[in-house]
Structure 1
């Protein structure tokens, strides 16, 4: 192994360990019977998440520096690869597919087409006639510019092939994510980038959601009747790091009125002029306050809360939000 490979291998190992530490602290915070300990564990999980993001960016930087055709980039070029925008007055809602019983709405900013975020929905109709299943996917390419767009295109291509030829895999979140990881691994290595991804399958007949989170923020599950979050567990390794990674399937029960929310970290990591982070807790509070509205209304309320928080400060990362509200379960 060359010295260059050793350096990259060390960074990849560090990313893996940060992911494991994040998962441990996050899961432990939900199991702790003491609020003080739970708060401390959540804080530690947040620190590990930030460390992982720094390491992923460092891996990309080092790989570019070690590339034989790498060239020095001036400040203007680096600036061109950054994004900076304000929330629009009218949100550009995506056209999404759904199934009877699920009210679905999604927005991806600054634009659905030129962005590292990708959100899609898949009504699943299996040969045996099972109905009432909906797959939701949100991926986030770690980076900006054309490399991020290229990786996002790879995600769309692989998913498109699966949707055309293997609908059964869409009903098995673990198999789907493993397939995506195998297919995207070469592209991730070439682009020196990684993909975080969450895939959720909502099954109305069984009253159950199954999901896999590959390095992505876990979905928010809101119990509308109780007006509180039901915490989820199971954050796993991000896409593109280990081609042979096995992903485990997580499950949670569903009831009519429940709300399932997927989001990118551009929302959670938005900062106001005081350098305060919007954070997951503010997101959850906004979702609970708006739970009586339909899916579009909830999305508008969350972005409205974010806009108030930002106080005209610009966003510097893509911000994507998808809300699925269950109108009926067990039909």
Structure 2
């Protein structure tokens, strides 16, 4: 590829040619996204583009509690990305570069739609390809391609090193050891024991959980799933961690705890041009009362697994008791669901990346299969159970890795105070 801007063939920058018909439903397009890793696809009508559709935007529409019911049958042509950039092979390359680099930061890295001079779709250009190209123009004094490649390699190494450092920092957010109940006991005699499995889809993830000791015989467990994954989601989890820490005084009250986190989360991101939200669950286990209290913000319902009885049952609150995700409405009222608990119960919370997995036939693994898998392995130790369930799901997906972050946390009740 020449670095002469006036003679470069722009079609050489096409990163992919993924496209869907504008008449497809959002559910069909969501399944189409599951078959590849690209974040954007073109939406066409008789080979001519109507616009582009984003994986993240589609996920936000279908991902909240009522999203699938409201939007599943909508046509994708009615849910296109706003302010997308479309260019033609007849456009001079300097004009294309100028338009691409002048975009707002919120859409800066969106793919660019390319057509021929007659408006027929040719493919999608990655913004990073234009960034690399522009850098090459600036580096015209470098005499050999090897030097250019070496510089790019070093930049990639630096970026990878930075991401590794960020990953290490994010890992420090997760517990390295668990609190004891009561705090004077040993790990083997603790009345509440915790177990977790965490896998991020990228180097950085958007799932987060936190254990909050309330008293010697009471513990809180917070879990959240920020929309998306990668660097942006990881930054939001950092904010969420700070909000949880700042709300510790309300840890004994699930509804007030979530209300304060939600209000502050909304205030922090209210001016952001794109919707940012997080599903969350917060539960408190009270050993003296032998019950759990749970508040939900659009999050998957927890399950209770009893190893001794080899049983698994879902906590199924009434729909009106489940609030929308954090960050959508500033004054959301959260309701509490109470459940009795018995010795041997393990209250298990998880993010939707665990079960929103498609098989080769594009059938969703789903919550029902998840409950069956957990029931099948209920007699195993918590760590072995988590490993067995995730292994079952991976096999269902034809051994493809999880496309979204996965977090599972178990709060095991070993007994009650005398």
Please give the per-residue CA displacement for 1:97-156, whole angstroms capped at 9, x wherever unaligned.
24321231111212798211101211212xxxxx22111111001123333122111101
Matched, 1:229 2:313: yes
> Structure 1 CA distance, aligned partners of 2:202 and 2:251?
22
Question: Who is 2:279 aligned against?
Answer: 196
Q: 2:239 aligns with which of 154, 157, 166?
A: 154
Question: Who is 2:259 aligned against?
Answer: 178
Counterparts of 1:82-93 in structure 2 under 5 Å? none
> Structure 2 CA distance, aligned partners of 1:292 and 1:49?
39
> Structure 1 CA distance, aligned partners of 2:245 and 2:83?
30
Q: Which has the higher contact order (CA 8 A, sep 6+)?
A: 1
Q: Sort the Cα spacing of 1:226 and 1:308 in 2 relative to 1 into closer, same or farther, 3 A.
A: closer
Q: 1:208 aligns with which of 291, 302, 308?
A: 291
Q: Please tell me the root mean square deviation across aligned C-alpha atoms, in Å.
A: 3.5
Question: Who is 1:33 aligned against?
Answer: none
- Runs of 4+ aligned residues of structure 1 deviating over 6 Å after TM superposition are none
Question: Who is 1:48 aligned against?
Answer: 69
TM-aligned CA deviation for residue 249 of structure 1: 1.3
Which stretch has the larger CA shift, 143-152 or 131-140?
Answer: 143-152
Q: 1:135 aligns with which of 220, 230, 233?
A: 220
Matched, 1:288 2:375: yes
Question: Who is 1:110 aligned against?
Answer: 200
- SS of residue in 2 equivalent to 1:175: helix
> Structure 2 CA distance, aligned partners of 1:149 and 1:282?
29
Note if contact 1:118-1:139 (Cα within 8 Å) is conserved in structure 2.
yes
**For the pair shown, which has the larger CA radius of gyration, 1 or 2?**
2
Question: Who is 2:401 aligned against?
Answer: 314
Q: Sort the Cα spacing of 1:71 and 1:329 in 2 relative to 1 into closer, same or farther, 3 A.
A: same
Question: Who is 2:115 aligned against?
Answer: none
- SS of residue in 2 equivalent to 1:244: coil
> Structure 1 CA distance, aligned partners of 2:346 and 2:83?
41
**Consecutive unaligned residues in structure 2, runs of 5 or more:** 1-56, 86-102, 112-124, 130-170, 182-189
Note if contact 1:221-1:259 (Cα within 8 Å) is conserved in structure 2.
yes
Q: Sort the Cα spacing of 1:244 and 1:283 in 2 relative to 1 into closer, same or farther, 3 A.
A: same
Give the alignment's TM-score, normalised by structure 2. Answer: 0.56
> Structure 1 CA distance, aligned partners of 2:83 and 2:298?
21
Q: 1:73 aligns with which of 86, 90, 110?
A: 110
Q: 1:268 aligns with which of 348, 355, 359?
A: 355
**Consecutive unaligned residues in structure 1, runs of 5 or more:** 1-10, 23-45, 80-91, 126-130
